[in-house]
Chain A
Amino acid sequence: MLSFDTSLTALRAAQIGLRVAANNQANAATPGYHRQRLHLGERAATPVHGVAVGTGVNALRIDRSVSALTQYSLNQSISQQGAQEASLETLRAVEGVFDPLSGGLTDRVSQFFHQLDQWTVNPGDLTQRRAVLQAARQMTGAFNQAADRLDTIQTSVHQEIAGTLREVNGLIQQVAELNGEISTSRGSGQEPLDLLDRRDALLEQLAGLTDARVPLRADVDDVVTLASGAVSFSTQPIALVLSTNALGEREITWKGGTTALEFASGRLAGLLQGGIDRVDAARGQLDTITRTLAQAVDQMHSAGVGLSGPVQQLTGVRAVTAVDAPLNQVIEHWPLTAGRVTIAVTAAATGERQLYAIDVDPARDTLEDIATQLSGISQVSATIDPRTRLLSLATAPGFAVDFAGGLPTVMTPSAGWTGTAAGHVSGRPTGSVNGEWTLTVVQGGRVGVDADVRAEVHDASGTLLGTVQLGSSYLPGKPIVIAQGVELRFDAGTLGTGETSTWDVIPTPDEVGLWPALGLRSFFQGDSAGNLAVRDDLWNDPRQLAAGTTARPGDNSIARRLAALRDAGLPELRGQSATVALDGLTVEVGAETAAASWSVDQATALSTSLRQQRDSVSGVDLNEELANMLTYQRMFQAASRFLRAADENLQELMTLVR
């Protein structure tokens, strides 16, 4: 009967082999499936007539074809790929915001400068003023839109992170449950190949989303680490949660833990570092460019005068956060430096213009202090709206103010001045240093009559700027250029030898940057890309737009400076102009996107190669399985044939017995 037993083992082994081959063929396209292998073993021999005779074959076990190292490397690569793909998706979205080839932001900025250029030629033209305001509004609209799009991307990334976290937590739950089942199965002495396959597939998914790893250890294969090993789980799942820290930043922690988790790779890492951080950086850069441009424009514009001339009422459009704290603590984003701020007060009746200055130290002075100082100026009162925390200036009837600085209309004679000739100053100071100039009559006499009447002019440091001849060669009333764009003239009359007269020369009326920071006579309102806008009062009345430092319609001195901003380097933008900085941001995002795209290509190629390697070990080759099928089929046929032969032999023996 030994022959029957031997054949029977072969029949059984062949049947198992055929089932394994059939199972492999059936799962040839199943994701995560590892081909299974049947291990056969020879049965122990039995002595027959003193000879050891084999007793057949045993199906020892079925296992999976797995290369743990390749799978580990593949998970690593998938994790890197996940991070880079998430980063690339965000960068592509950010790239679209700044894409100059489809128009948009940079076009609008260029158009604004184009209209400013045109304005220099027609500074008094109301149509051109409207065109400037229209271009400015379109530019601020483009800034708002870009900021809005970045905010939308940021919101999407946050939503994506929340969704990914839910997915990650779901996967962690499933892996933990599988670990439990695998452990139970192994406890009963069985290797649960299907469960192991399912777990490997889930871990691969988890690796794409996080930096999940199963450390290569011989003794343990069910511990999964996350966040560079900061947390781990096996059969008890952990839950990751999205929270906001004390700084208002979004971070991921695990339920029960307090430390923020840093993911080295995976989609979550890409969304957090390449996503949120990059969008934040782009938003910050956009805000810096917007604010710097607005500051430069506002600083120039506040030093100008509209077509209606100085005004009786001014209200700021930028509020402080507190009126009783030092300015540099309550004015955000607008840099202030200690210095002098000059206000000109003009009497409507006489046209006489006088300059008054206040000293401002932003580290010490509050808005209330500023209001008090301003109210100390003759004919000026300053108030702060307690609700809006906005500063307003008003003048007494018959007076008006401007911030253009420059020159007063009359000199201030020193005490004891006896001359009868009235002195006037005019012109447009071209220097950069504010100061008091002094005229000293070196030789007195009748202006325009007596020989050798002359005077010297010195600046605040005592430097001689020029000597003016006011004797018989001088035509009374005719302006004489002294220096730095400043002229003086004397009416007919007398001048006393040694007498002096002074006047302020203010080429820089706001050394502090106070007016734009408070939004007084500014061009824009708002202080970031998201809320920058053309001032409503300018939009409603283009005559208030300041093309020059005087109300004369041909005065383009401010318009020319504004137009020159197109190519002017701004210190806050590392010496670049606003347009160049915007282009730089575009190129920077483009370069990062290109680099991320290249990284994704590389990671994809590596993953593809590693998948190929894994499949070369674990994948099902149909030809191979068909060959195995033929082998087991033939094995089964041979065992069956042997049974028939053994049966025939036994029949022969039966015949002998009968």
Chain B
Amino acid sequence: MIRATDLSTIGVTLEHLRRQSVQFARAQEQVSSGRRVNRPSDDPAALRIGLRETRRIESLDARTQVLDQLRSTLSHTETSTRAAHSLLVRVREIALSARQSTEPAERHVLAQELGTLRERLISIANSRNGGVALYGGTASDRLPFETAPDGTVTYVGSEEPMVASSELGDQSAVLPVGRDVFQTTAGTDVIDTFAVIADLRSTLEGAASQPATVTDPQFAQALDDLEQLGDHLLESIGTQALALEQIESAQSRFSDLKLESETLRSQALSADLPQSIVALQQAQTQTQFTMAALSKLFDTSLLNFLS
């Protein structure tokens, strides 16, 4: 038969009290922190899931922020390219008007407007966003189009576009090569936006002194070139719009993935508050019972009856 001595009874009771205190403290910590896992050893398996999802969330957040910046830059580029296209449409209208115009004064006005439009196009081609040249490729720190004293415009940017990381499927040009946007080719001929407009203006200004047999083919060539440049700009706009659409699609996908990861992380690491509160109450009650039992332990001792 086991003998229950005073010392052993107290020892066992104190041991129970210690364990209950630990459980009580743990439940209290969960309720106060809102976390089920407060240190790695609380639940290593849950922590593994929680950390995995945390890394995913961090990665998604970082990529989303990068996409935000890319979208801003691309949006500026697309807007600028659209503006350039609108200007080019107006240039073509002027070319059409000029072809039919016989009034020197009207031609002079149209030539003046062409000059203005060309300046605005050069300005667009040298657009910056946050100090970064939009059409300079990787040479983003300087103006990509230089105007010589004789009015000739030369591309001095990089031949390499700045590309985004692989979020957009293929490597999309965030900062395109300006030469590729404002120039196109027809066979071996290079059609340059600024040169075409300059030539058109010269034709317009010299039309009064030239016979129609000379100016008509020049106007026709200019219209043809402008049409090709317009189509080329539309292609660029399409590419940029597609990249923007891909960014928005990626951001939407990331948002969904982030929500999913947050849910999984919460399930792994967060405390189920009702459950924690019940556990806290249970631990508290059990501790109180143990203390009460300890205080009652010697009430029935023989010592009490000897007096």
Contact = CB atoms under 8 A, between A and B. Distances in A.
Interface of A: 28-29, 91-92, 95-96, 98-101, 106, 110, 113-114, 117-118, 120-125, 426-428, 448, 472-475, 478-479, 548, 550, 552-556, 560, 563-564, 566-567, 579-580, 583, 586-591, 593-594, 597, 604, 608, 611-613, 615-617, 619-624, 626-627
Nearest to B14: A608
B148 interface: no
B40 A98 contact: yes
Interface in B1-34: 2-8, 11-12, 15
B139 interface: yes
B242 interface: no
B275 interface: no
17 contacts: A28-B7, A95-B41, A101-B37, A113-B62, A118-B66, A120-B66, A121-B69, A124-B132, A478-B185, A553-B141, A554-B141, A555-B162, A579-B55, A594-B43, A594-B44, A616-B4, A622-B301
A28 B55 CA distance: 59
B40 A553 contact: no
A100 B51 contact: yes
A616 B162 CA distance: 83
A586 B47 contact: yes
Contacts of A428: 160
Contacts of A620: 5-7
B187 interface: yes
A312 to B, nearest CB: 22
Contact of B3 (A96, A475, A479, A619): A619
B48 interface: yes
Contacts of B230: none
Nearest to B171: A560
Given A552-B139, A615-B8, A616-B5, A597 B41 contact: yes
B15 A604 contact: yes
Interface string B46-82: 0110011011001101110110011001000000000
Contact of A473 (B4, B138, B188, B301): B188
Nearest to A579: B55
Nearest to A426: B159
Contacts of A117: 62-63, 65-66
A428 to B, nearest CB: 7
Contact of B5 (A96, A594, A619): A619
A475 B11 CA distance: 97
A554 B66 contact: no
A435 B4 CA distance: 87
B188 A475 contact: yes
A629 to B, nearest CB: 9
B55 A583 contact: yes
A479 B306 CA distance: 113
Given A579-B55, A587-B48, A619-B8, A554 B139 contact: yes
Interface in B134-162: 136-141, 158-160, 162
Contacts of B141: 124, 552-554
B303 interface: yes
B158 A552 contact: yes
Contact of A590 (B3, B44, B187, B301): B44
Contacts of B132: 122, 124, 554
Most chain B C-beta atoms within 10 Å of own C-beta, residue among A91, A478, A608, A613: A608
B8 A612 contact: yes
Contacts of B137: 552, 554
A368 to B, nearest CB: 39
Contacts of B11: 608, 611-612, 615
A100 B41 CA distance: 12
Interface residues of B, number: 62
Given A586-B51, A587-B51, A621-B5, A554 B188 contact: no
Nearest to A627: B302
Given A100-B51, A472-B188, A118 B159 contact: no
Contact of B306 (A554, A591, A621, A626): A626
B3 A554 contact: no
Contact of A553 (B3, B138, B188, B306): B138
Interface in B57-113: 58-59, 61-63, 65-66, 69-70, 73
A554 B8 contact: no
Contacts of A125: 131
Contacts of B54: 100
Contacts of B160: 427-428, 550, 552, 555
Contacts of A427: 160
Contact of B41 (A474, A583, A594): A594
Given A563-B165, A616-B4, A590 B138 contact: no
B62 A587 contact: no
A590 B40 contact: yes
Contacts of B52: 580, 583
A579 to B, nearest CB: 6
A291 to B, nearest CB: 21
Given A99-B40, A586-B47, A616-B8, A621 B140 contact: no
A245 to B, nearest CB: 33
B35 interface: yes
B296 interface: no
Contacts of B302: 622-623, 626-627
Contacts of B39: 95-96, 99, 101, 590
A593 B301 CA distance: 43
A554 B70 contact: no
A113, A123, A556, A626 — most chain B CB neighbours (10 Å): A556
B190 interface: yes
Contacts of A580: 52, 55
A470 B158 CA distance: 24
Nearest to A107: B58
Contact of B165 (A554, A560, A591, A613): A560
Given A95-B39, A616-B5, 10 more contacts: A113-B58, A426-B159, A428-B160, A554-B138, A555-B160, A583-B48, A586-B47, A590-B42, A608-B11, A616-B4
Contacts of B73: 121
Nearest to A547: B138
Given A604-B15, A622-B303, A448 B5 contact: no
A101 B34 CA distance: 13
Contact of A554 (B6, B42, B63, B162): B162
B121 interface: no
B165 A587 contact: no
A619 B7 contact: yes
Contacts of A586: 40, 47, 51
Contact of A475 (B48, B159, B190): B190
Given A121-B66, A554-B138, A620-B5, A479 B40 contact: no
A616 B39 CA distance: 40
A550 B138 contact: yes
